[in-house]
């Protein structure tokens, strides 16, 4: 591929391709621009990441972008493939009422390595499906894979009859447990691609998956579950209305999510958008989120999985994403028993989320829970209640969450249950209409956070801000327009940080070893 320095190819398959403008503006491009393919205008774009669909395999194309100041050209060649097959040839009707499960299953089994299964426009009602290696599923414009609504027809994932050291078929909220099979599942597979611009819809709003789910005999299904897979790409697909987490890569490697929309109603329970768990090498680029829980929650299991496998979340990149609504825009935890390292979040835009950059853990996550080398840069936030939170007192999702061990402010002994927090850098952030706190960072007295750097940050509070709770903890107190709050952080650096409309002191810091401030 050849081209100019302002354009980058993120993905190029047999029938679709995804591109990224190289600049420093979060999510949106500096200006609207035309997208041309071989000299013919396709559409106008206003975002840094954009896509082309309906391309021919193994063919050269010339991509051109034209704007008042944006002009560039890129030559690329689509990938080859063994075949492309219409799912309707196997009996799928796509009428929204017929059960198309068997037809889709036959088509997937029939598809050879390197093949593409095409879903033309229509609504394909389906029970859970199993994917296999070396295939592509393409949901064309107007195509919808619609989830079955009867919970009784969702099998519960099998459990091994032997205690295989590396065999695990299902997990939820950091633990292995029985789980209803997800709408799309891949187990121990590789080289799987799902491309858009169609929709994969869990249809949970028409089922009982969002009602009294704590009494179910198994954990609710995901929309897509990739267990111990390698080389998974989801490009362009609109994923929505999952029974619980929408996209859940689990102990997988080299997973890519490009130019997607992931959505669910604001009041839908546990509908996190993307929750990579104990994965290595995850790219989330150019995606838009609006869900009922965290937009992105990076996980690595609770203490049992952290001890057994010790697989940290490693080498994750989140870039040019838009979070329209969610509890946390980018969250680490709380199930991070094996830790998180080498995380980069940049050029993202958060609107209306409860918290922006949210890290949550607690005593009991274990000594393998080490979070280090985490960088958040070039972030814009509008209407985010608390832009930055690091919470080592998280009190949800565990039977002992209200115990004295969790909430005690005493300096307890460091043991195998104690998590560790390393280096965190927050830089080049512009936040408007915050309400609760600018920054709320609260470490453990017996294991303080090693280092926090805050640099080139502007946070303006809304004049009509309402009180709220900055982080979920026992005995939480409401705050309103609180400045920078840091407790139990060894080394603090604050450079060129400006607050507006805060109430009280700009900085409240306690239990630190060094505190450096410059232009603050």
Assigned token pair, 25: 């503006």
Q: How many beta carbons lie within 10 A of that of residue 202, not counting itself?
A: 31
Give the phi and the psi of residue 223 in degrees, each rounded to 5.
-80, -45
d(CA 421, CA 311): 17
What are the DSSP calls for 150-189, one per residue? -GGGSPBPP--SS--TT----EETTEE--BBPPSEEEES-
In order, the DSSP letters of 99-157 are E-HHHHHHHHHHPPTTEEEEE-SEEEEE--EE--SSEEEEE-TTEEEEE---GGGSPBP
3-state secondary structure 366-417: CCCCEEEEEEEEEEEEECCCEEEEEECCCCCCCCCCCCHHHHCCCCCCCCCC
Active centre residues (catalytic): 293, 327
What is the total residue count of the chain? 520
Using CA atoms, how far apart are residues 429 and 457, in angstroms rounded to an integer?
5
Looking from the CA of 194 toward its CB, the CA atoms found within 13 Å total: 27
Structure tokens given for 276: 């990579």
Q: Which 3-state string (H, E, C) describes 407-443?
A: HCCCCCCCCCCCCEECEEEEEEEEEEEECCEEEEEEC
């Amino acid at each position: 591929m050849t081209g100019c320095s302002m354009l980058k190819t993120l993905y190029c398959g047999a029938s679709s391709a995804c591109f990224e403008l190289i600049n420093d503006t979060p999510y949106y491009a500096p200006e609207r621009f035309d997208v041309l393919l071989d000299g013919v205008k396709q559409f106008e774009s206003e975002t840094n990441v954009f896509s082309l669909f309906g391309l021919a395999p193994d063919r050269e194309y010339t991509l051109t972008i034209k704007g008042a100041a944006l002009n560039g050209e890129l030559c690329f060649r689509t990938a080859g493939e063994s075949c492309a097959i219409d799912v309707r040839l196997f009996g799928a009707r796509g009428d929204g009422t017929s059960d198309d499960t068997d037809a889709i299953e036959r088509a997937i089994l029939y598809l050879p390595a390197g093949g593409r299964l095409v879903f033309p426009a229509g609504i394909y009602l389906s029970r859970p499906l199993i994917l296999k290696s070396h295939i592509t599923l393409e949901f064309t414009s107007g195509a919808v894979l619609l989830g079955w609504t009867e919970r009784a027809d969702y099998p519960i994932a099998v459990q091994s009859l032997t205690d295989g050291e590396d065999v695990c078929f299902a997990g939820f909220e950091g633990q292995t447990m029985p789980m209803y099979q997800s709408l799309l599942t891949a187990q121990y597979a590789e080289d799987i691609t799902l491309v858009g611009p169609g929709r994969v819809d869990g249809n949970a709003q028409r089922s009982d998956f969002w009602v009294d789910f704590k009494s179910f005999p198994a954990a609710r299904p995901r929309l897509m579950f990739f267990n111990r897979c390698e080389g998974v790409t989801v490009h362009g697909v609109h994923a929505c209305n999952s029974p619980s987490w929408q996209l859940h890569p689990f102990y997988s490697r080299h997973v890519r999510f490009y130019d997607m929309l992931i959505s669910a109603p604001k009041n839908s329970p546990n509908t996190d958008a993307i929750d990579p768990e104990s994965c290595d090498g995850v790219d989330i680029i150019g995606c838009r989120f609006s869900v009922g829980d965290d937009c992105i929650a990076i996980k690595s299991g609770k203490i049992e999985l952290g001890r057994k496998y010790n697989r940290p979340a490693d080498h994750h990149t989140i870039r040019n994403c838009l979070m329209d609504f969610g509890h946390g825009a980018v969250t680490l935890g709380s199930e991070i028993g094996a830790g998180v390292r080498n995380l980069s979040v940049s050029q993202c835009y958060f609107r209306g989320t409860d918290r922006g950059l949210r890290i949550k853990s607690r005593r009991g996550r274990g000594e393998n829970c080490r979070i280090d080398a985490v960088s958040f840069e070039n972030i814009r936030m509008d209407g985010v209640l608390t832009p930055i939170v690091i919470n080592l007192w998280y009190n949800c999702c565990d039977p002992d969450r209200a115990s004295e061990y969790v909430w005690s402010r005493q300096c307890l002994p460091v043991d195998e249950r104690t998590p560790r927090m390393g280096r965190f850098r927050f830089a080049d952030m512009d936040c408007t209409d915050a309400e609760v706190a600018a920054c709320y960072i609260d470490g453990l007295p017996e294991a303080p956070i090693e280092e926090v750097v805050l640099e080139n940050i502007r946070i303006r509070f809304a004049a009509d801000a309402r009180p709220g709770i900055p982080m979920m903890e026992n005995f939480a107190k409401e705050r309103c327009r609180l400045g920078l709050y840091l407790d139990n952080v060894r080394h603090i650096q604050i450079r060129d940080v400006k607050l507006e409309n805060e109430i009280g002191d700009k900085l409240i810091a306690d239990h630190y070893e060094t505190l450096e401030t410059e232009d603050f």
